Amino acid sequence: MPYSAQILEHYNNPRNVGSLSQTDPNVGTGLVGAPECGDVMKLQIKVNPATGVIEDAKFKTFGCGSAIASSSLATEWLKGKTVDQALSIRNTEIVEELALPPVKVHCSVLAEDAIKAAIKNFQEKQTNVEASELVAA
Ligand code: FES
Ligand code: FES
């Protein structure tokens, strides 16, 4: 039995499954695919613009149990962190927490990539908002 109790627990009771509105300027969306297997992960964050703290995080993962567990854990870790703190989450921490077997390490990489993609999308949206405010001013 290669799967740890932690993986099964998140797989059976995934946290924060769902979607946030992509039109919300404070929501960042990351959509990434694993070249190894074709699994796809969508991860979203909602940031409080005044504090820079991530208030909400949601995911939808079309993939294996380890990818679902990795993204579920990632959303738990993201809530309450600043964007900078979120950027320092490493897939190796997910591997350790879930005791992922070696063949499933790439599933945690998918989660780290999805976090980074969601933050990048959020930051790009903020830049666009600032730019449009300058144009409007
Ligand atoms: Fe089939 Fe990931 S390759 S679930
Ligand atoms: Fe490819 Fe888990 S994400 S097997």
Q: Is 64 a catalytic residue?
A: no
Q: Answer yes or no: are the C-beta atoms of 43 and 19 closer than 8 Å.
A: no
Residue nearest to atom 1 of ligand 2 (CA): 37
What are 31's strand-pairing partners? Answer: 42
Element (H, E) at 86: helix 83-87
Looking at residue 130, its pLDDT comes to: 76
Average pLDDT over residues 98-107: 96
Could you tell me the distance, in angstroms and rounded to a whole number, from the CA of residue 35 to the centre of ligand 2?
Answer: 9
Ligand 1 pocket, residue 63 CB under 6 Å = yes
Is residue 107 classed exposed, middle or buried when 0-12, 13-18 and 19+ CB atoms within 10 A define those classes? buried
Q: Where are the beta strands (DSSP E) in 1-88?
A: 27-33, 40-47, 54-62
pLDDT digits (tens, 9 = 90+) for 122-136: 999 998 877 777 777
CA-nearest of 87, 47, 94, 54 to 72 is 94
Query: Could you count the other beta carbons within 10 Å of the beta carbon of residue 4?
Result: 16
CB of 105 within 6 A of ligand 1: the answer is no
Residue 34 Cα: closest atom of ligand 1 = 2
Assigned architecture for domain 15-124: Alpha-Beta Complex (3.90)
pLDDT tens-place string over residues 55-84: 999 999 999 999 999 999 999 999 999 999
Query: Of 69, 86, 107, 117, which residue is the catalytic one?
Result: 107
